[in-house]
Amino acid sequence: MKKTNIAVLVSGGGTNLQALIDAEKNGIIEHGTIRLVVSNNSGAYALTRAENSGIKTEIITRKLCGSDEAVEKNIIRVLEENDIDLIVLAGFMRILSGEFTKRYDRRIINIHPSLIPSFCGEGFYGLRVHEAALKKGVKVSGATVHFVNEIPDGGEIIMQKAVEVREDDTPETLQRRIMEQAEWQILPAAVEKISKIMAEEA
């Protein structure tokens, strides 16, 4: 069976990318293979993680391309060149256009660090998500993997995991616990689930 070819889009540290790389190495992801890492930030440590594992990288920044449209055009070009089936957004700090998400309908997935539909949508990224959760006083938060459509964090939910919120949490401690206990587990699990479906359909 042909494996699902995966591209991971990143902007930052890449701990979720690392979780995916490790999951492919130890067989948790068996129906997919990470063929490409694309970053819109030339300084992203995620690029080093990819290089350390021998994964091809592409840097596509607004500065290099000149406009948002040109960024997407170049992303599409490298996805096509590398025969990519599935796009995984793992800390990719950029909202993709409706045109882009329609082109790759049900072929883009994202990890969001809360239980959607709480604390999501435009403006909810990074520590802001956890600040909002603590401000509201929720006792559980967590992470969600979902398909990406034209509505930010609005696509169909694939997997979720809840994480306890502690009395003494700061946005930083909550962020870390959600990564360790939820994101790094459900992202590889969801990628395997979708890769398997896509590989069987191909």
Q: What is the contact surface with ligand GRF in residues (CB under 6 A)?
A: 12-16, 46, 90-91, 111-113, 179, 183
Among residues 86 and 199, whose Cβ is nearest to ligand GRF?
86
Among this protein's residues, is 112 annotated catalytic? yes
Among residues 129 and 199, whose Cβ is nearest to ligand GRF?
129
Q: How far is the CB of 80 from ligand GRF (least distance, A)?
A: 25
Residue 46: partners with Cβ closer than 8 Å, 6 or more residues away: 10, 11, 12, 13, 14, 17, 37, 39, 90, 91
Is the previous residue joined to 152 through a cis bond, with omega within 30 degrees of 0?
no
Coil vs helix vs strand at 104: coil
Among residues 4 and 141, whose Cβ is nearest to ligand GRF?
141
What are the backbone angles phi and psi of residue 93, rounded to the nearest 5°? Answer: -90, 60
Among residues 7 and 199, whose Cβ is nearest to ligand GRF?
7
Catalytic entry in 31, 112, 130, 146: 112
Write out the two tokens for 34: 């990470």
Q: How far is the CB of 30 from ligand GRF (least distance, A)?
A: 22
Q: Are 144 and 112 in contact (CB under 8 A)?
A: yes
Q: How far is the CB of 125 from ligand GRF (least distance, A)?
A: 7
Among residues 183 and 192, whose Cβ is nearest to ligand GRF?
183
Q: How far is the CB of 87 from ligand GRF (least distance, A)?
A: 14
Place of tokens 């690392």: 18
CA 198 to chain centre: 18
Q: Are 145 and 90 in contact (CB under 8 A)?
A: no
Residue least distant from ligand GRF (Cβ): 91
Q: How far is the CB of 202 from ligand GRF (least distance, A)?
A: 28
CA distance 5 to 191: 11
Phi-psi region of 123 (alpha: psi -120 to 50; beta: other; left: phi over 0): left
Q: Which residues are catalytic?
A: 112
